[in-house]
Amino acid sequence: MSDLVQQLVNGTVLGATFGLIAIGYTMVYGIIELINFAHGEIFMIGSYAGLALYTYVLPGSWTTNPWVTLPLVLVAAMAASAGVAVLAERLAYRPLRNAPRLAPLITAIGVSISLQEAVRLFYPGGKNVAAFPRIISSGGFSVGGVTVPWTSVFAVVAAVVTTVALDRFVTGTRLGKAMRATSQDRETAMLMGIDTDQVIVLAFALGGALAGVAGVIQGIRFISVDFHIGFIAGIKAFTAAVLGGIGNIRGAFVGGLVIGLVEALATEYLPQGAAWKDVWAFVVLILVLTFRPEGLFGEEVAVRA
């Protein structure tokens, strides 16, 4: 029983991380139908931005107080990830907005590789694993005979709070309504006076900010980062977005939880589970898309005139 509880905890934390990254995929695709394969590297940059602030900016006396350090690291990661996402949109994707779909897709792969190499070449220690500070205490509390670390509590709470806040923003604010209108029909939204360029930039910025939160969670959980962490995490998060119903924020987060739980439970209970842990997520995706191609929470999209 304790093993099951442990794997459920691990899977929930892993799934929360995937869910935050998946939201970035689903927001961008939902508005401009672009699969931003560089989004995994946006997540990676969030980790390094938080690490850079802690290492090179914060005074030593501040780093001993997690109530001060953690919010500042989160803000730095969110700002850096959002900024890079907006720059990618402006410089790489906007000029190709009306190009054939293959062109922005290839560009996204190029942006992904460029960001990886930029971090590897210019961040001190980027060629090796960089140690992430232990900002949160290593203690925890017990549930079912299993100790749940405070880092896991932070990961789940941060993911849920930011996801709920984003969902409220999209459903209850003027800009959120503009985002939904642009997603449904960009041309009509433009005719109604909506600045669709601003909406698209906002989608990239918000998705990047949530990826920055996920980057800090990753660093705090594993006490290390490297410039490759965005690749596998990004692919699994994209899988989560498709699984939940790409274009659906809540579905993307739930899809991330499903992927995380499947990976954790398969690692523990299936033969060769650890060796095959990167396979099970895609097996689930294939099964879901076979029987429900629109994803768990996706809706049938109307054909635009």
Please compute the mean of the pLDDT values over residues 16-20 and round it to a whole number.
92
At 171-206, the pLDDT tens digits run 989 999 999 999 888 888 898 888 999 999 999 999
The pLDDT assigned to 264 comes to 87
Which among 87, 84, 93 is positioned nearest to 46, based on CA atoms? Answer: 84
For residue 65, pLDDT beyond 80: yes
Among 117-121, 126-130, 165-169, 180-184, the minimum mean pLDDT is found in 126-130
The band of 159, judged by pLDDT with boundaries at 50, 70 and 90, is: very high
The band of 122, judged by pLDDT with boundaries at 50, 70 and 90, is: confident
Bridge partners (DSSP) listed for residue 65 = none
Work out how many domains the chain is built from and give that number. 1
- For the chain, the average pLDDT equals 86
For residue 303, pLDDT beyond 70: no
The band of 85, judged by pLDDT with boundaries at 50, 70 and 90, is: very high
CA distance 15 to 263: 9
Q: What is the residue-wise DSSP string for 114-144?
A: HHHHHHHHHSTTTTSPEEPP--S-S-EEEET
Domain that holds residue 55: 15-234
Q: Give the whole-number percent of the chain exceeding pLDDT 70.
A: 94
Q: Is residue 198 part of a domain?
A: yes
At 206-252, the pLDDT tens digits run 999 999 999 999 999 888 888 888 888 888 898 899 888 887 888 99
Q: Is residue 305 part of a domain?
A: no
Of 124 and 39, which is predicted with more confidence?
A: 39
Q: Is residue 43 part of a domain?
A: yes
Q: Is residue 252 part of a domain?
A: no
Please compute the mean of the pLDDT values over residues 52-57 and round it to a whole number.
90
Would you say 95 and 20 are in contact if contact means Cβ atoms under 8 Å apart?
A: no
The pLDDT assigned to 77 comes to 95
Amino acid identity for residue 167 in this structure: D
Q: Mention every residue, 6+ apart, whose C-beta is less than 8 A from residue 65.
A: none
- Helix ranges (H only) for the chain are 2-32, 39-52, 66-88, 102-122, 150-172, 174-184, 186-191, 196-222, 229-244, 249-269, 277-291
Q: Is residue 254 part of a domain?
A: no
The band of 305, judged by pLDDT with boundaries at 50, 70 and 90, is: very low
Q: Is residue 46 part of a domain?
A: yes
At 139-151, the pLDDT tens digits run 777 776 778 888 8
Q: Is residue 280 part of a domain?
A: no
Please compute the mean of the pLDDT values over residues 251-268 and round it to a whole number.
89
Phi first, then psi: give them for residue 251, nearest 5 degrees: -65, -40
Bridge partners (DSSP) listed for residue 148 = 141
Which among 91, 85, 105, 99 is positioned nearest to 27, based on CA atoms? Answer: 85
The pLDDT assigned to 23 comes to 93
Give the 3-state secondary structure of residue 149. Answer: strand
CA distance 112 to 24: 15
* DSSP 8-state assignment for residue 89: I
This prediction's pTM: 0.90
β-pair type (224-225, 130-131):
antiparallel
Please compute the mean of the pLDDT values over residues 53-61 and round it to a whole number.
86
Please compute the mean of the pLDDT values over residues 25-30 and round it to a whole number.
90
For residue 302, pLDDT beyond 60: no
Give the 3-state secondary structure of residue 91. Answer: helix
Would you say 178 and 194 are in contact if contact means Cβ atoms under 8 Å apart?
A: yes
Angle ∠(215,13,58) on CA atoms, nearest 5: 35
The dihedral sign for the CA sequence 12, 16, 17, 19: positive
The pLDDT assigned to 127 comes to 60
Angle ∠(189,78,40) on CA atoms, nearest 5: 80
Q: Is residue 278 part of a domain?
A: no
Q: What is the residue-wise DSSP string for 283-304?
A: HHHHHHHHH-TT-SS--PPPPP
The pLDDT assigned to 125 comes to 60
